[in-house]
Amino acid sequence: VRIAFLGDSFIEGDIVVADFRSGMQEQFGGRGVGFVPVTSVAAQFRPTIEQKAEGWTTWSMLTDHHHRYTLSGMTFEPKGEKPSISIKTTDRYPELKTVSSLKFLYEKNIRTQMTLVCNGTQDTICETLEPTTAITQYEQTGTFTEASFSFADTAGFRALGVALEDNSGVIVDNYSLRGNSGMILSRLDSTRCRELNEIRPYDLVVLQYGLNIVSDSVLQYGWYAKRMEEAVRHVRVCFPDADILMLGVSDRSRQVDGTFETMPAVLALLHAQRQAARRSGVAFWNVFGAMGGENSMIRFVENNWASKDYTHLSFRGGKEIASALLKAILLEKEFYDEADKVAH
């Protein structure tokens, strides 16, 4: 089962997603962190993978309208002679230490030479990567804890990232993009997405957005609901076999006369998101409710479950949300299994 977890800085560095992934893998099998972009703003503090990349130019769908984008919203081109990527697993969660499949994903290539060293051994694998204009995957199977890639002859080369996983059980890819409101999903390139889906067929796409939209001066979010309905429609075109789960916005506080309280805009946006999910016919899960509803962010900050900006969760807070989401999904599964028994 393959899950794409899309969101903004709320899930950056694998906050929420790491614990959700771990819980799913513990329950249903599977190992590994899944897809990791060549590099990202979260690369330094993401505890679920150690990564380093040198010699790349990052293109992001937030600022660039020229390239064609798929779920990660980023693509990477070599800058200079010898671009490289190195990754190393961590043991922060029991399922992350070793994986049986190592993949490299790229989307454009003429004659790039790739050198790969796995697990710090002396053995060097040298490959001429397949020429392509579509998303292509290079895979090695075995037992992996680390890998270093370096590339030469990279004219016309464009890379997406690396995936560390098992080819069974549950895989959860974190596609966070800081500052993303979710609305740009309408701009995903459907051809590119279908190419990705050929290689990584997604069963579920989770949408976690809203924090970048909430504003004290805005209390009407009907326009946002409409744009998100368009986005959902487009994601369906791009990934026709995937179910979609929309998460509602989390609590966020503002200071009023020296005390913190829930921003009224949060409730307004939550209502709009729920409407959008209902009208789109997708599942909806209320993060705000799972946190404890109104003014719950205050408790999260007091417990060190969220940062003092009263907006972003810490890893500990992410764990709270992840286990509530996991519980909700497993409860639905029980209902489903019961109904299934009755039917037979």
Q: If pLDDT is split at 50, 70 and 90, which confidence band does 80 have?
A: confident
Q: Give pTM, 2 decimals.
A: 0.96
What are the structure tokens assigned to 233, written together? 């429609």
Mean pLDDT of 214-228: 95
- pLDDT score recorded for residue 122: 78
Mean pLDDT of 247-255: 96
| Residue keyed to tokens 């913190």 | 260
- What is 113-177 written as a DSSP string? EEEEEETT-S-EEEEEPPPBSS-EEEEEEEEESEEEEEEES-TT-EEEEEEEE-SSS-EEEEEE-
What are the structure tokens assigned to 121, written together? 């051994």
Quick one: 309 exposed, middle or buried, by C-beta within 10 A (0-12, 13-18, 19+)?
Answer: exposed
162-213 pLDDT, tens digit each: 999 999 999 999 999 999 999 999 999 999 999 999 999 999 999 999 998 9
Residue among 298, 323, 324, 303 nearest 314 (CA): 303
- The identity of residue 64, as a single letter, is D
* DSSP H/E element including 102: strand 99-108
User: How many percent of the chain have pLDDT more than 70?
Assistant: 100
| Whole-angstrom distance, CA of residue 251 vs CA of residue 290 | 10
Q: Within 10 Å of residue 289's Cβ, how many Cβ atoms?
A: 14
Residue 344 has pLDDT above 90, yes or no: no
Secondary structure class of 243 (helix, strand, coil): strand
